[in-house]
Amino acid sequence: MKKAPIILVTNDDGIEAPGIHRLAEMARGFGRVYVVAPVSQCSAMSQRLTLKTEMEIRERHDFAADGIKAWSLAGTPADCVKTALRILPEKPDLVFSGINDGFNTGLDIAYSGTCGACFEALFNHIPAIAFSCETCRDYAVTDRYMAELTEKLLGQTIERNAFWNLNFPSCDPAALKGILYGVRPADLQLYSDHMPQKHYPDGRWTISESGIPVGPDAAPEGTDVHAVRNGYISVGKVRTGLF
């Protein structure tokens, strides 16, 4: 009998985020699941590593998906993948990262901690899938299609230097336009930079970073940004040029 694959589930929103609980439950249908995730929010950390600093790791008996062994790590998503390779009983066969609160498309992929975990998986020769949803307040489309698409993608061969990137709109499933396969990352940020400043009487000033979503016509057809901004599920590959 073929042994069930070992699946590492991680994210960048932290181990208490609702998305990772949904993803871990879904992953049960495809193998033996372990969770190693950041103890706190780590969005936009890309593939950052924590160096020369002790990272506390705790087994989490309070993880919402019953029967799944889970640990929180005081580190980044990439740290979680590296740590999992040392604490799990066997090397993972797959890495599932997400479900991120917010799309990971276009140039935003380069900043994404969700995708950073997938890049770390590739560097360790482990296939990976990134899962993102427009907002964690509405998983209706994600819940309807996530397992179906995962099964389809796991049945396909993907290059060693690439991972699958799935993005789900938050809408009523009846309003979904469809599923677009083979989309490419757009050459722009879905969340365009918005950097308001505050000036103070003593001469100090501050600047903060946030994003404003671009419109439905900002990116060309065939790109992930165009797909999600026009009500489609986006299914594509993200590649690294390092190997």
Q: Cα separations (Å) of 147 from 103, 221, 232?
A: 18, 26, 17
Average pLDDT of the residues in 59-85? 95
Residue 169 has pLDDT above 70, yes or no: yes
Q: What is the pLDDT of residue 12?
A: 97
What does the domain layout of the chain look like in residue ranges?
A: 6-185+218-239
Residue 99 has pLDDT above 70, yes or no: yes
Q: CA nearest 86: which of 24, 12, 137, 36?
A: 36
Average pLDDT of the residues in 68-78? 97
28-33 long-range contacts, CB within 8 A, separation 24+:
28/65, 28/68, 29/147, 30/5, 30/94, 30/150, 30/151, 30/154, 31/4, 31/5, 31/6, 31/7, 31/93, 31/94, 32/4, 32/5, 32/6, 32/7, 33/7, 33/9, 33/65, 33/68
Q: What pTM was computed for the model?
A: 0.95
Q: What is the pLDDT of residue 205?
A: 92
pLDDT, the chain, mean: 95
Residue 160 near residue 195 (C-beta atoms within 8 A) = no
3-state SS track over 68-103: CEEEEECCCHHHHHHHHHHHCCCCCCEEEEEEEECC
The fold of the 6-185+218-239 domain, in CATH, is Stationary-phase Survival Protein Sure Homolog; Chain: A, (3.40.1210)
Beta strand 232-239 with 178-183 is parallel
Q: CA nearest 29: which of 155, 147, 204?
A: 147
Q: How far apart are CA 108 and CA 104, in angstroms?
A: 6
Residue 142 near residue 179 (C-beta atoms within 8 A) = no
Residue 194 has pLDDT above 90, yes or no: no
Residue 20 near residue 117 (C-beta atoms within 8 A) = no
Residue 79 near residue 73 (C-beta atoms within 8 A) = yes
Range with lowest mean pLDDT among 102-106, 183-187, 207-211: 207-211
Token pair 């950390």: residue: 45
Beta strand 191-194 with 178-183 is unpaired
What ranges make up the beta strands (E) of 102-161? 128-133
Average pLDDT of the residues in 83-106? 97
Q: What is the pLDDT of residue 1?
A: 64
